[in-house]
Amino acid sequence: MHGPEILARFLTELGPPDKYGQRWQYHSRSDRHSKVGSWGVAFDLLANSALLQAHAEQAKVVLGVNHEMRDFATGRKKDLDLVIARPAAPGSTTNMTLQTLVEHYGIPLTARQTADLEALPDIPVAPVGAVLVALEAKACMTAHVKSLPRLYDELNSSHLCVHGASRQALAIGYVQVNASADFVSPVINSKPMSRGSEPEVTHHRQPHDTLRVLEKMAEIPRRSHREGNGFDALGITVLNLRNDGSPVQLISRAPAPSPGDNFHYGSMVTRMANEYDTIFGRI
């Protein structure tokens, strides 16, 4: 599984400048973390599903980025970070694909990751028809306890919208949690900073804050059959991100979910690959 390592390496690099010319690794008003996190899940899912690979080779599937889904019953709308879907019209594509998004997003891959990606069939970004897999990625990097109601509501509304549009679609939730004791918040430091001035640092109560997020995520509904309500899989990646320009570290030990745990990233991808191979064999 490459996704979490790719995400940590990507977030080590600074993002585009804000209105004061300051560049941040993570900014709550940017979606760069969710886009690259979602891309990594799609990469790993493709690598672990023989059926998805076959569908890609046969041009049966496309990617949708920031795709709007609409709940058929309620009319509720939701923008999903990334979806895998049937094409809206045969041969209708854009100039983007899963592989070209690497350069478009500026994703730093290792030589092995590049080789693994190029060994897989590519999937074009194109107008979306029936959605097969819908992915929502969210981050909790600071103010952990305060942000829990919003985080829960946004994730919960996602799977409700996905399954309101299609009971067959697989809804995946992917949560990125910061376990760093210190954090330089772009919101608190949203002001011009003179040369040599020190930013205001937010201090977290760790590992308590991370554990509170994991406990709340465990309350989000999951489903194990087509008639249930909830995510079909929910994965959590824990990072050490100070947001001060220092390298972002991927946390693999406690408080992060351990291998085999339902919320472990590898468990999420393995479950979704198996579900995809089981459900969509006849498309």
Domain boundaries, the chain: 3-279
100-142 confidence digits (pLDDT tens) = 999 999 999 999 999 999 999 999 999 999 899 999 999 999 9
Beta bridge partners, 64, equal 83
Question: Are the C-beta atoms of residues 6 and 36 closer than 8 Å to each other?
Answer: yes
HSE at residue 146, side-chain half, CA atoms within 13 A, is 5
Distances in Å between the Cα of 129 and the Cα atoms of 98, 103, 133, 224, 262 are 17, 26, 12, 25, 30
CA angle 39, 41, 46 (to 5 degrees): 95
* Percentages (nearest 5) of helix, strand, coil residues in the chain: 35, 25, 45
Query: CB-based burial of residue 166 (10 Å sphere; 0-12 exposed, 13-18 middle, 19+ buried)?
Result: middle
Query: CB-based burial of residue 16 (10 Å sphere; 0-12 exposed, 13-18 middle, 19+ buried)?
Result: exposed
Q: What does the pLDDT profile of the chain (283 residues) look like in tens digits?
A: 999 999 999 999 999 988 888 899 999 888 899 999 999 999 999 999 999 999 999 999 999 988 888 877 777 778 888 999 999 877 666 789 999 999 999 999 999 999 999 999 999 999 999 899 999 999 999 999 999 999 999 999 999 888 888 888 999 999 999 999 999 999 888 777 666 678 889 999 999 999 999 999 999 999 887 777 899 999 999 999 999 999 999 999 999 999 999 999 999 999 999 999 999 998 8
φ, ψ for residue 109, nearest 5 deg: -100, 150
CA distance 249 to 1: 16
Element counts in the chain: helices (H) and strands (E): 8, 8
